[in-house]
Amino acid sequence: MLLTPRLFGFRPGVNYNVPYKDYLTDAKFRLRDLKNFQSLEQILAHRTTAKDIDIFFVTSFRQNARHAAVMNHRYQVIKKLSSITSLNMATGFSSEKALPEEYAKVFYPRLNQENYLETLARAKVVIYTQGIAGCLSSKFGLAMALGVAVIGEPLGNNPDLLIANPHLKEQFSYSNPDDIVAHAVHLATNPEQARTLGALNAAMFDNQLAPRPTAEYILQALQKFQF
């Protein structure tokens, strides 16, 4: 796990062109919160949670200037979702610090690990945006584990996963905020289609992304290298 992520296809800076530096502090901060993370069995138990939220898009707000463009892009999605009154939304920026004035209207109360997972599990559709520097966001893994349908930005770091699972292209092909919101609303108002995609996501997680198949994938990748 300490080996460079480049071995597994991660390319720092993809799409957003953000330099891969100063991330150690962020990593240590997130690591402290992992002790409160639920076990895989507890996470999977949420697959049967009743779906009373149409669309979920709650994302952390990063105060650093280098993240300004990414935050503004996410804000465009949040703003468009907030204007839709016919659906039940969980959307906004969460932050321990006060949001800048231009984003204050879309503040969402900060969720701890347990509440975040429970709220995500209640959603019919989850909107996905790439993590900082274009990496996979943790929201991807949680949504797949929960078997929730997703609409959002492309997965730029694992083309093999996309080839093996064509249903992902239907969900992860949108960068424009208008397209993201339009497709999310379409899925939220077509629950059978959302359930079908969610079931495919859950099956993919069980067979390819859960700890055991992931460990096997890493071991196979390591065998290609000579140390």
Residue 85 falls within a domain, yes or no?
yes
Q: Work out the pLDDT band at 134, boundaries 50, 70, 90.
A: low
- Among 33-42, 94-103, 128-137, the range with the most confident prediction by mean pLDDT is 94-103
Please tell me the total count of domains within the chain: 1
Question: Both tokens of residue 132?
Answer: 């900082």
Q: Work out the pLDDT band at 92, boundaries 50, 70, 90.
A: very high
Residue 9 falls within a domain, yes or no?
no
Residue 3 falls within a domain, yes or no?
no
pLDDT digit string, tens, across residues 45-73: 999 999 999 999 999 998 888 889 999 99
Q: What is the CATH number of the domain that holds 200?
A: 3.40.50.2000
- Which of the pair, 116 or 19, is modelled with greater confidence? 116
Range of the domain at 197: 37-222
Question: Dihedral through CA 170, CA 176, CA 181, CA 182, nearest 10?
Answer: -70
pLDDT digit string, tens, across residues 98-118: 999 999 999 999 888 889 999
Residue 26 falls within a domain, yes or no?
no
Query: Cβ distance 158 to 135 under 8 Å?
Result: no
In this prediction, residue 114 carries a pLDDT of 85
Q: At what angle do helices 68-82 and 177-188 cross, to 10 degrees?
A: 40
Give the mean pLDDT of 2-29.
Answer: 49
Question: Both tokens of residue 71?
Answer: 């935050």
Query: Cβ distance 49 to 1 under 8 Å?
Result: no
DSSP run (H or E) holding 131: none
Residue 25 falls within a domain, yes or no?
no
In this prediction, residue 15 carries a pLDDT of 47
**Does the structure show a pLDDT above 70 at 8?**
no
Please report the DSSP string for 143-188 in residue order: HHHHT-EEEES---S-HHHHHH-THHHHHB---SHHHHHHHHHHHH
